[in-house]
C-alpha cells in the first residue's frame, strides 16, 4: 500500500510519491533538499535533518543544527551513509572531515529558478535511488508553475519588495538571482530591486522609498524578531511614504521557502501571494 506525505505544504500543491521502506542512512541539510527527499517518497531513509527542514512527524528525527554551522562529530555519531545538502551548507572544514571519515557528502544546486528546481529533483532522485519518482514530480511542478504564469494576465502588476531585517543591522533587499525574486515573479509581481541589484544588498530606507513598493515581504524570522507592520514602520518610518507603508501591505513569507534555492515551499508561497494580490 502506498503511504503519502500529507503536510499542509504538499496538500496545497499536490506533491505525493510512494514512500520507500529502505533505510540507507541519509542526513539532509536544507529545507529545499529535505522537502524533495520527502516528495520523492524517501522520508524513511532520513536519519537526521537540519533545523530549517520540515518532515511529516516533527521531532521524530535528531537535528544537526543550522545547515551553515554543521558539526562533523555530531553527524558521524549518527552512522549515516551520506549527507545531502545545498552549497549553502558548511563550514567546509566540517564537510572535509566527513569525507575523510568515509561519509559521502553530496551537494545539489541552489538555483532560484524553475530549471534549477527541476534539475534538483533529478539530482536528489538519483542520490536516493528514486529516479522512478522524478518524472511525475517534475510534471506536477511544471504544471503548478504554468498555472501561476497563466494567472498573470488576470492580476494587476504590483511592485513587491522583499526585506531581510535583522536587529541592529541595515535591512537587505532581495534583487535579481534570489529566491524571493523568483517567488515575486511567479506570483505575478514586479520586484523593483531586481533592475539594479543582484543577490541581497543593504540599501538605505530612502532608496526603498524611491522604489515605491505596493507590497513589502518580510521573512517569518524578521517578523518574529521585529513584530508586524506597525513595528517595522516604527523602526523604518520613511516606509510610510510608500504605497505599502500607507496601506500597511506587509506580507510575512515563510522562511523555509527561502533556503536552498527555489523549492516546493517557494511555489506554495508564490501561490499564496498570487491569491493575495488578485
pLDDT reading at 148 higher than 90: yes
Residue 138's pLDDT band (cuts 50, 70, 90): very high
pLDDT band at 222 (very low <50, low <70, confident <90, very high): low
Q: What CA–CA distance (Å, rounded) separates 250 from 113?
A: 24
Write down the pTM of the prediction: 0.88
- Residue 182 pLDDT > 70: yes
One-letter-per-residue 3-state SS of the chain? CCCCCCCHHHHHHCCCCCCCCCCCCEEEECHHHHHHHHHCCCHHHEEEECCCCCCCCCCCCCECCCCCCCCHHHHHCCCCCEEEEECCCCCHHHHHHHHHCCCEEEEECCCCCHHHHHHHHHHHHHHCCCHHHHHHHHHHHHHHHHHHHHHHHHCCCCEEEEEECCCCCCCEEECECCHHHHHHHHHCCECCCCCCCECEEECCHHHHHHHCCCEEEEEHHHHHHHCCHHHHHHHCHHHHHCHHHHCCCEEEECHHHHCCCCCHHHHHHHHHHHHHCC
Query: For the chain, what are the domain ranges?
Result: 8-148, 155-276
Segment 51-63 mean pLDDT: 92
Does the structural domain 155-276 have CATH classification 3.40.50.1980? yes
Number of alpha carbons in the 13 Å side-chain half-sphere of residue 118: 13
pLDDT in tens, 83-123: 999 999 999 999 999 999 999 999 999 999 999 999 999 99
pLDDT above 70 covers a percentage of the chain that reads 89
| CATH architecture of the domain with range 8-148 | 3-Layer(aba) Sandwich (3.40)
**Domains 8-148 and 155-276 in one fold:** yes
Q: Is the pLDDT at 36 greater than 50, yes or no? A: yes
Mean pLDDT, all residues of the chain: 90
Q: Is the pLDDT score of 124 beyond 70?
A: yes
| pLDDT of 183 higher than 50 | yes
Amino acid at each position: 500500500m502506498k503511504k503519502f506525505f500529507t503536510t499542509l505544504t504538499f496538500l496545497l500543491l499536490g506533491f505525493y510519491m510512494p514512500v520507500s521502506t529502505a533505510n540507507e542512512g541519509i542526513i539532509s541539510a536544507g529545507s529545499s533538499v529535505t522537502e524533495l527527499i520527502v516528495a520523492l517518497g524517501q522520508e524513511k531513509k532520513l536519519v537526521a535533518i537540519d533545523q530549517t527542514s520540515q518532515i511529516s512527524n516533527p521531532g521524530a528525527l535528531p537535528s544537526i543544527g543550522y545547515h551553515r554551522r554543521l558539526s562533523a562529530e555530531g553527524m558521524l555519531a549518527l552512522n549515516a551513509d551520506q549527507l545531502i545538502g545545498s552549497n549553502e551548507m558548511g563550514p567546509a572544514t566540517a564537510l572535509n572531515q566527513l569525507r575523510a571519515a568515509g561519509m559521502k557528502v553530496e551537494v545539489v544546486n541552489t538555483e532560484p529558478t524553475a530549471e534549477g528546481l527541476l534539475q534538483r529533483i533529478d539530482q536528489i532522485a538519483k542520490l536516493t535511488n528514486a529516479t522512478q519518482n522524478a518524472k511525475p514530480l517534475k510534471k506536477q511542478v511544471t504544471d503548478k508553475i504554468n498555472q501561476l504564469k497563466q494567472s498573470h494576465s488576470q492580476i494587476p502588476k504590483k511592485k513587491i519588495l522583499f526585506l531581510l531585517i535583522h536587529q541592529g543591522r541595515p535591512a537587505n533587499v532581495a534583487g535579481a538571482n534570489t529566491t524571493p525574486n523568483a517567488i515575486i515573479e511567479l506570483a505575478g509581481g514586479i520586484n523593483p530591486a531586481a533592475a539594479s541589484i543582484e543577490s541581497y544588498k543593504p540599501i538605505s530606507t530612502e532608496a526603498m522609498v524611491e522604489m515605491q513598493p505596493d507590497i513589502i515581504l518580510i521573512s517569518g524570522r524578521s517578523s518574529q524578531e521585529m513584530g508586524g507592520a506597525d513595528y517595522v514602520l516604527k523602526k523604518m518610518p520613511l516606509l510610510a511614504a510608500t504605497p505599502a507603508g500607507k496601506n500597511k501591505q506587509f506580507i510575512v513569507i515563510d522562511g523555509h521557502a527561502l533556503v536552498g534555492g527555489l523549492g516546493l515551499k517557494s511555489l506554495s508561497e508564490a501561490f499564496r501571494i498570487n491569491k493575495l494580490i488578485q
